[in-house]
């Protein structure tokens, strides 16, 4: 390079280098190298990017990437670690890197060499008969550029590509010497014998050889030219398929598929198939039995309910075995993989039971309990709830199945506390029981203190409120008030809606309640959209001259099923002409917002228009939108595009809330508007 003035040497001080490890790796393993960038100048340098690509000997790109460097201090060395997977049979890789600094690039290259192992295998014949006796003959060689002797694990397989099956296999440990080539033949391996029943007819097969190093990593593979294998007739066979783990539990349902194959063989007339669980101790547990007529229409699928076995592990460990018998003579047999039946049964307990501490007879209550279970396998359990008064028969309240979960929290109710004939009781006991397969596993109880009936001066009942409602549903309910007092009295009655969206006063009225004469209070309300997937209450408060009381009706709000609002955007210039997608920077624009609502009369709504990039919020505008009086709402916002240094993509979005709670995305169908500022 000619000597130039210092002010022309823009690369001076930036010294890149590719550092390749001293030890080679074998082809097929992971290789790594380092790219170092050193700043030998007296000042810091920034805005550097390092790009690299790794190419094999055929100029195929194996790996490439770009690493930005924001700053390098004086004397600092920045190191970039790179690793990539090498390919079998590729001997060398070229690393081509460049460092971009001050608008120029500094190229740097290096070569990474690998050790390689190549295998070549040739069958000794073009046709072979599979009789279970004659081995497959072959010869070949293994080459390497690794100088020192190395131990390798060689495996030769006969594969049938059409059926994707391995018909025979043989393995052998060898030492690949430093001379670089090793001649092999079938005498160096155990006989490669193809079973007579491995397939049918004629199969086009190949020899496949794989070579692993001492760590078990594959370093070479080879596929031979095809040859043909002929299979003769097969005796009757039985096959068993089942997905069984190493440990199964009592009560599990295990599917088992049985099939009979008798191509080219005469089927015995009186043969039976016995399926048993054969333990390592020699004990047999019958599962089922079949005749050959059961297989006329195809395989038979059965479900084995795992029994509970007690004893030593040898008595609970074994296989599922299917045996084909004719007059006590075994014709064929097959078995599954070994597994163990756990001796641990299903255990469950009611960890907690929560109910109100006090209530009145006829009042609806809700509660909560938690069930713990040791295993998720098996059948669902049964939960029962009872009300129990001292000296009386239990009164059933709930009986339902509960799913197989290790920790299950369950809410129940509303349940009405029943009354009984006879003297008034001071308390009632609520009992929770958990049963599995008819056996009681656990019981827990809680006591509810009963208030005196005369405290309920007015009987309050609700009608017109379903147990489940949808967001934005209009509910027309009626509160029925019946006085139990001995004389008329003036009561101030107020009704409010309690939900996660807040408390809303619905109605208030002064009512003269006469003994035994019902009074009605109509209460109309709309379920808040933001209260979806929650529980709400209609609360009625009675304000007497000397006391107060309240009653509530609980109901659940479902999820939003379809969008309530449809939102669209438009962007126009100052003259009102639509802008398709490209907007110059520092340009006044008008952003149009059009909202279609399928529901009218919604109140206490807030809306915010957001102008955003992918990384940040650029601008936000609050739009007056308190009440919806029509199906369509339109407004325009004036905005000036920011002064950007590079081309930036923006998009428009809307956030709506009701009663200060943001509406879920399911409530809005927004067609996002994207545009680019340049």
Residue 368 lies inside a defined structural domain of this protein: yes
Contact 228, 160 (CB under 8 A): no
Residue 386 lies inside a defined structural domain of this protein: yes
List the strands of the sheet with 427-436, edge to edge.
358-359, 439-450, 427-436, 381-388, 395-402
Confidence of residue 53 (pLDDT cuts 50, 70, 90): very high
Quick check: 7 pLDDT over 70? Answer: no
Last residue of a domain, one of 165, 198, 231: 231
Instruction: Read off the pLDDT of each residue in 264-278 and give the average, rounded to a whole number.
Output: 77
Residues 462 and 516 in one domain: yes
What is the percentage of the chain residues whose pLDDT exceeds 90?
A: 16
Residues 412 and 321 in one domain: no
Instruction: Read off the pLDDT of each residue in 24-51 and give the average, rounded to a whole number.
Output: 86
**Can you tell me the distance from the alpha carbon of 313 to that of 115, in angstroms, rounded to the nearest whole number?**
50
- Predicted pLDDT of residue 35: 92
Residues 312 and 353 in one domain: no
Instruction: Read off the pLDDT of each residue in 565-580 and give the average, rounded to a whole number.
Output: 87
- Predicted pLDDT of residue 345: 65
In a 13 Å sphere around the CA of 53, the CA atoms on its Cβ side amount to 6
Residues 212 and 127 in one domain: yes
Residues 534 and 463 in one domain: yes
Confidence of residue 266 (pLDDT cuts 50, 70, 90): low
- Predicted pLDDT of residue 1: 46
Which residues contact residue 190 at a Cβ distance below 8 angstroms, ignoring those fewer than 6 apart?
170, 171, 172
- Predicted pLDDT of residue 494: 92
Confidence of residue 59 (pLDDT cuts 50, 70, 90): confident
Residue 469 lies inside a defined structural domain of this protein: yes
Residues 547 and 513 in one domain: yes
Task: Give me the CATH number covering residue 261.
Answer: 2.60.40.1930
In a 13 Å sphere around the CA of 340, the CA atoms on its Cβ side amount to 10
* Residues forming beta bridges with residue 296, ordered by sequence position: none
Quick check: 576 pLDDT over 90? Answer: no
The more confidently predicted of residues 404 and 383 is 383
What is the percentage of the chain residues whose pLDDT exceeds 70?
A: 94
Instruction: Read off the pLDDT of each residue in 651-661 and give the average, rounded to a whole number.
Output: 85
Pairing type for strands 138-144 and 181-185 reads antiparallel
**Can you tell me the distance from the alpha carbon of 611 to that of 594, in angstroms, rounded to the nearest whole number?**
16
Last residue of a domain, one of 557, 578, 610: 557
Confidence of residue 291 (pLDDT cuts 50, 70, 90): confident
Residues 210 and 140 in one domain: yes
Which residues contact residue 660 at a Cβ distance below 8 angstroms, ignoring those fewer than 6 apart?
502, 606
Residues 378 and 319 in one domain: no
Residue 651 lies inside a defined structural domain of this protein: yes
Residues 222 and 242 in one domain: no
Q: Which pair of tokens denotes residue 263?
A: 């191509």
- Predicted pLDDT of residue 454: 46
The more confidently predicted of residues 388 and 298 is 388
DSSP tally for the chain: helices H, then strands E: 1, 51
Number of domains in the chain: 6
The more confidently predicted of residues 247 and 269 is 247
Task: Report the range of poorest mean pLDDT among 6-10, 221-225, 255-259, 571-575.
Answer: 6-10
**Can you tell me the distance from the alpha carbon of 90 to that of 145, in angstroms, rounded to the nearest whole number?**
12
User: Per-residue pLDDT tens for 134-186?
Assistant: 899 999 998 888 878 888 899 999 999 887 888 899 999 988 876 668 889 99
List the strands of the sheet with 518-526, edge to edge.
458-463, 474-483, 518-526
Instruction: Read off the pLDDT of each residue in 43-62 and give the average, rounded to a whole number.
Output: 87
- Predicted pLDDT of residue 178: 66
Calculate the average pLDDT of the chain: 85
Among residues 504, 650, 506, the alpha carbon closest in space to that of 589 is found at 650
Task: Give me the CATH number covering residue 473.
Answer: 2.60.40.640
Residue 653 belongs to what domain range? Answer: 565-677
Last residue of a domain, one of 498, 533, 557: 557
Quick check: 209 pLDDT over 80? Answer: yes
User: Per-residue pLDDT tens for 372-398?
Assistant: 887 776 788 899 999 998 878 889 988
- Predicted pLDDT of residue 52: 92
Residue 632 lies inside a defined structural domain of this protein: yes
Residues 372 and 406 in one domain: yes
- Predicted pLDDT of residue 456: 62
Confidence of residue 214 (pLDDT cuts 50, 70, 90): confident
- Predicted pLDDT of residue 495: 92
Residues 33 and 105 in one domain: yes
Residue 1 lies inside a defined structural domain of this protein: no
Residue 423 lies inside a defined structural domain of this protein: yes
User: Per-residue pLDDT tens for 437-455?
Assistant: 888 888 899 999 887 654 5
Residue 451 lies inside a defined structural domain of this protein: no
Confidence of residue 11 (pLDDT cuts 50, 70, 90): low
- Predicted pLDDT of residue 267: 65
Which residues contact residue 533 at a Cβ distance below 8 angstroms, ignoring those fewer than 6 apart?
557, 558, 559
Q: Which pair of tokens denotes residue 266?
A: 């005469």
Task: Give me the CATH number covering residue 604.
Answer: 2.60.40.10
Highest-confidence range of 76-80, 126-130, 195-199, by mean pLDDT? 76-80
**Can you tell me the distance from the alpha carbon of 309 to that of 251, in angstroms, rounded to the nearest whole number?**
11
Residues 107 and 122 in one domain: no
Instruction: Read off the pLDDT of each residue in 533-538 and give the average, rounded to a whole number.
Output: 88
């Amino acid at each position: 390079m000619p000597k130039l003035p210092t002010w022309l040497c823009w690369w001076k001080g930036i010294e890149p280098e590719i550092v390749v490890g001293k030890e080679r790796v074998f082809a097929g393993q992971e290789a790594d190298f380092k790219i170092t960038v050193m700043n030998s100048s007296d000042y810091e340098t920034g805005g550097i990017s390092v790009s690299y690509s790794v190419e094999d000997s055929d100029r195929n790109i194996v790996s490439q990437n770009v690493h930005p460097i924001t700053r390098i201090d004086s004397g600092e060395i920045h190191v970039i670690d790179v690793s990539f997977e090498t390919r079998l049979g590729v001997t060398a890789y070229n690393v081509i890197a460049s460092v971009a600094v001050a608008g120029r690039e500094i190229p740097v290259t290096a070569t990474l060499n690998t050790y390689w192992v190549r295998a070549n295998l040739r069958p000794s014949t073009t046709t072979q008969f599979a009789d279970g006796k004659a081995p497959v003959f072959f010869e070949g060689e293994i080459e390497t550029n690794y100088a020192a002797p190395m131990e390798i694990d060689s495996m030769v397989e006969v594969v049938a590509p059409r059926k994707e099956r391995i018909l025979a296999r043989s393995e052998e440990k060898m030492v690949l010497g430093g001379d670089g080539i090793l001649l092999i033949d079938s005498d160096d391996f155990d006989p490669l014998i193809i079973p007579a029943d491995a397939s049918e007819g004629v199969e086009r097969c190949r020899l496949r050889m794989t070579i692993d190093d001492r760590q078990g990593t594959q370093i070479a593979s080879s596929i031979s030219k095809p040859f043909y294998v002929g299979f003769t007739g097969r005796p009757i066979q039985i096959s068993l398929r089942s997905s069984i783990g190493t440990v199964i539990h009592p009560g599990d349902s295990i599917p088992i598929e049985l099939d009979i194959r008798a191509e080219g063989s005469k089927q015995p007339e009186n043969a039976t198939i016995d399926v048993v669980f054969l333990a390592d101790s020699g004990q047999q547990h019958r599962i089922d039995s079949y005749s050959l007529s059961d297989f006329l229409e195809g395989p038979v699928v059965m479900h084995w309910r795992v029994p509970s076995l007690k004893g030593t592990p040898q008595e609970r460990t074994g296989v599922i075995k299917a045996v084909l018998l004719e007059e006590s003579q075994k014709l064929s047999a097959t078995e599954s993989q070994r597994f163990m039946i756990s001796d641990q049964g299903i255990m469950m307990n009611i960890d907690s039971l929560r109910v109100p501490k006090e209530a009145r007879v006829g009042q609806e209550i809700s509660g909560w309990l938690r069930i713990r279970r040791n295993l998720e396998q098996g059948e669902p359990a049964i939960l029962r709830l009872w009300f129990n008064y001292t000296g009386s028969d239990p009164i059933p309240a709930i009986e339902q199945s509960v799913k197989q979960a290790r920790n299950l929290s369950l809410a129940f109710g509303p349940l009405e506390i029943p009354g009984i004939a006879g003297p008034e009781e001071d308390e009632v006991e609520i009992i929770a029981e958990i049963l599995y397969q008819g056996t009681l596993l656990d019981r827990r109880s809680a006591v509810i203190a009963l208030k005196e009936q005369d405290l309920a001066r007015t009987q309050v009942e609700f009608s017109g409120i379903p147990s489940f409602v949808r967001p934005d549903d209009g509910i027309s309910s009626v509160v029925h008030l019946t006085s139990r007092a001995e004389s008329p009295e003036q009561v101030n009655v107020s009704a409010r809606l309690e939900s996660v969206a807040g408390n809303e006063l619905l109605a208030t009225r002064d009512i003269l309640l006469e003994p035994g004469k019902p009074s009605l209070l109509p209460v109309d309300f709309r379920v808040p959209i933001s209260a979806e997937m929650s529980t709400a209450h209609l609360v009625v408060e009675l304000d007497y001259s000397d006391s107060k009381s309240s009653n509530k009706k609980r109901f659940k709000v479902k999820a939003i099923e379809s969008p309530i609002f449809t939102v669209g955007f438009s962007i126009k210039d100052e003259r009102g002409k639509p802008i398709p997608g490209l907007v110059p920077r520092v340009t006044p624009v008008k952003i149009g917002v059009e909202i279609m609502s399928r529901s009218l009369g919604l109140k206490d709504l807030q809306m915010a228009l957001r102008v955003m990039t992918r990384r940040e919020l650029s601008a936000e505008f609050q739009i007056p939108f308190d009440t919806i009086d029509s199906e369509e709402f339109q407004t325009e916002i004036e905005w000036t595009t920011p002064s950007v240094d590079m081309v930036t993509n923006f998009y428009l979005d809307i956030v709506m809330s009701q009663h200060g709670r943001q509406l879920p995305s399911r409530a809005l169908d927004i067609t996002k508007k994207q545009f680019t500022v340049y």
